[in-house]
Every structure is written in C-alpha cells, then in structure tokens.
C-alpha cells in the first residue's frame, strides 16, 4: 500500500488473476445528524456484529458482540434513521436464531427508550418452527403468535415477516388469507407486512400462493384490504420497481408502501405524481450517512441534491445485492468494517466467506467512487488486511 501521497493507493485483484493499482479519492462529508426532519419514514434493516472471540462453532452457534451491535443502532438513530430489528439483514434465520433474535430485540427496545424520537420495529416470524416440522396451518399460526406475543410483551412494534413454514404447508391463496387474517386480528397495533422475494430466500418461492408475482400481489392486497386497520404498511423486496409502483397505487390510502428495492430505491423514495414509497432497506445500513443527507435534502425540497447524493450509491447497492442476493449481508458487514464501525470482518455463521475477494475488491472501488469510505487510510489498511488473508499480496 502506497501512503506517500495525501490519499492512499493499493493493488486490487482483477479477473484473470492480475492486480491493478487503485487510487482512493476524497470521501464526501456528511453531517452527523440530519439537518431537518424527514418527510419519508426510513428504516434501516440493521446488521449484527459477531463476537469473533467467543468459543463457539460459527456454523452451529450464534455469538453476538452486544456492545458493538447496540452502538451501531445508536449510529443509525443519530442519523435520523429508524431501525428495523432482527430482519434478514441481521441474518435472521441465516445464522441468527429466535432466542438470540429476541434478546437482540429486547436490548434494542431498551436502548431506544433513551433516544428521543428513535424509530424501532422488530421482526416477528416463525423461524423457531423448522419448516419440515410444520404440518398444519395451525402450527404456523401458533408460531407467529409466540413471537408476536414475546415482542409485544417487551413493548415492541411488529414487522410481520414472511414464513418459510407457511410457504411449505400452504396449498392455496386462501391458506395465506386464513393465516394472515388470524394473526392480524390479534396484534395490538398496526404492523408492517414483509413480502420477501425468493431472490432473497429461495424457501419463499410461491409466497402468497402463486409463483406469478401479480397473482400473488392480488392475494396480498386482499389481505390488506380486509385488515387495513391492522396494517401500517407493506415492505416488498422483489427488486422490481414496476411491480412495487403497481402495488403502491392499489394500496388503501392509510397503508404505506415501504420499499425494499435495493436496486431502485432512489427513484421509488423520490416518487412521482401519484405517490412515493417510504423505506425499509438493507442498503441503508451500508450507506447510512448518505441516506440521511439525501432524505434531509428531499425534506427541504431539494430533489436534485437528493438524487445527486443517492445516484452514486446505486451501483454499489446493486453490486452488494447481486445474485445470489441472499449473500448481500456480507457486503453490508464489509462496509461497516471498512468504515470503522466494527473492528473485524467476521459474521454470524461464518458468512464472511459467501463472497469472493474479487467481489469485495469491486465493492471497495464502488464505495470509494460513491464517497462512502469515510477514512481512506483506514479503509485501505483494512482492505489490505483482507487481501492478505486471501493470499493477495
């Protein structure tokens, strides 16, 4: 690594086994707190920080660095972003089990009480019920009831997550309507529904009773229309802006669309003459300072600045979320490591290994081009350490 110039450079791998010298650029400067209140609701689905010193088998056991994990949530709240807790970004059902998820939710609820205006909602699903153990629809209902009850007992708000068990046992759209009607009739306050596409979780293929997205959408809308008083909004993660806009325009006036589209979020949040999406995004974890600044600009009526800030983040996001999309968590955690928000690149379940060193090198380039490597010298040193582990010297 060359640090003789004011900004560092280092050799990054390229396809074919070669190396190229990459010169880092000056990062953008973002305010530590938003300049004004946002005119969009914006949740960041937050990751967890693993404890690399715990004496556990990472593929089998879940060890969390609670101090670093809670510090990251304070970082997001200080930027004006809400926290969507214990979601797939936190490796829920992908290394993070339900008992640890509930402890995470409890700690976040406690922490939020000390932060004025902190926005927090937490994922309730059925992941403590192994899909193969679910035999009936009642099994799924009881699993949802257990998690919802535990979160509501802590004073938490609910994000109703998609269920792998339901996807396994449901035989028709009517089964989905039955399950969601029973569950929604019991919640204490309106929930955010979560429609997670199979590109994020292959076990959810055919959710809402159909592999055709528009047919599935009809079922989801029927559920929402039947229980609009119990639904704050729906987050859809299909990575298809046209489907999201189509559904957004069909929602009841009282129900929000929370974009989960990590490819097209800028356009969807900005909106059009017929409306806009709010946000519940995994990429906001990785680009939080830029997201905060952009949302503040939008609230101030400066659409051009909003777009100028977010535009260079989109190539980075599309790279982080490229297929296999379910491995995006690795890029999110790598960004936190590069920016000094955790002191290691270790993940729950050992999932730091799900992306290649070429993928990480391209992420580094794109993050630099977006102005998101807050301290170029630290980022370069940490990138160099990862390269060395991979035998790139």
Report residue 31: phi and psi, to 5°: -65, 145
pLDDT at 4: 45
Do 227 and 203 form a contact (C-beta atoms < 8 A)? Answer: no
Banded model confidence at residue 3, pLDDT cuts 50, 70, 90: very low
pLDDT at 393: 80
pLDDT at 5: 53
Q: Classify the C-alpha dihedral 246-286-207-144 as positive or negative.
A: negative
pLDDT at 164: 97
**Which helix (H) or strand (E) element contains residue 195?**
strand 191-196
- Residues 157-189: tens digit of each pLDDT: 999 999 999 999 999 999 999 999 999 999 999
DSSP letter, residue 23: E
pLDDT, the chain, mean: 96
Q: Of the ranges 1-15, 22-36, 146-160, 350-364, which one carries the lowest mean pLDDT score?
A: 1-15
Give dist(CA 257, CA 231) in Å, integer: 11
Tally Cβ neighbours within 10 Å of residue 48: 29
Per DSSP, the chain holds a count of helices (H) and strands (E) of: 15, 10
The pTM (predicted TM-score) of the whole model is 0.96
Residue boundaries of the structural domains of the chain: 30-311
Mean pLDDT of the 103-111 span: 98
The reply to whether omega before 133 is within 30° of 0 (cis) is no
Q: Read off the tokens for 233.
A: 């909004």
DSSP letters spanning 253-271: TT-EEEE--TTTHHHHHH-
Tally Cβ neighbours within 10 Å of residue 368: 23
Q: Is domain 30-311 annotated with CATH 3.40.640.10?
A: no
- Residues 195-252: tens digit of each pLDDT: 999 999 999 999 999 999 999 999 999 999 999 999 999 999 999 999 999 999 999 9
Q: Read off the tokens for 80.
A: 């004006």
Mean pLDDT of the 256-281 span: 97
């Amino acid at each position: 690594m060359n640090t003789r110039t004011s900004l560092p450079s280092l050799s990054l791998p390229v396809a074919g086994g070669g190396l190229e010298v990459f010169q880092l650029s000056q990062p953008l400067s973002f305010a530590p707190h938003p300049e004004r209140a946002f005119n969009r609701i914006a949740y960041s689905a937050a990751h967890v920080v693993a404890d690399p010193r715990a004496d556990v088998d990472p593929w089998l056991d879940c060890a969390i660095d609670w101090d670093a994990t809670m510090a990251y949530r304070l970082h997001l709240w200080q930027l004006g972003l809400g926290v969507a807790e214990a979601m797939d970004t936190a490796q829920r059902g992908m290394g993070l089990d339900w008992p640890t998820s509930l402890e995470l939710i409890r700690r976040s609820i406690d922490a939020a009480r000390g932060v004025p205006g902190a926005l927090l909602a937490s994922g309730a699903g059925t992941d403590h019920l192994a899909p193969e153990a679910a035999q009936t629809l009642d099994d799924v209902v009881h699993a949802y009831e257990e998690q919802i009850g535990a979160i509501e007992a802590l004073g938490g708000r609910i994000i109703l997550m998609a269920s792998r068990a339901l996807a396994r046992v449901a035989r028709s759209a009517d089964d989905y309507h039955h399950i969601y009607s029973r569950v929604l009739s019991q919640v204490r306050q309106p929930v955010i529904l979560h429609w997670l596409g199979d590109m994020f979780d292959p076990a959810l293929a055919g959710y809402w009773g159909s592999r055709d997205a528009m047919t599935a959408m009809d079922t989801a809308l029927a559920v929402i229309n039947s229980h609009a008083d119990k639904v704050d909004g729906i987050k859809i993660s299909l990575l298809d802006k046209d489907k999201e806009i189509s559904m957004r325009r069909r929602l009841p006036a009282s129900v929000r669309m929370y974009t989960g589209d990590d490819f097209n979020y800028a356009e969807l949040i900005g909106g059009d003459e017929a409306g806009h999406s709010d946000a519940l995004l995994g990429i906001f974890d990785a680009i939080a300072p830029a997201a905060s600044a952009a949302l503040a600009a939008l609230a101030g009526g400066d659409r051009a600045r909003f777009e100028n800030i977010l535009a260079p983040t989109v190539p980075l996001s599309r790279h982080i979320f490229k297929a296999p999309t379910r491995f995006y968590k690795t890029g999110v955690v790598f960004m936190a490591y590069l920016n000094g928000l955790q002191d290691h690149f270790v993940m729950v379940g050992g999932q730091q290994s799900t992306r290649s060193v070429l993928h990480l090198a391209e992420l580094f380039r794109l993050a630099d081009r977006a102005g998101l490597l807050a301290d170029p010298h630290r980022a370069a040193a940490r990138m160099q350490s990862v390269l060395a582990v991979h035998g790139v010297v």
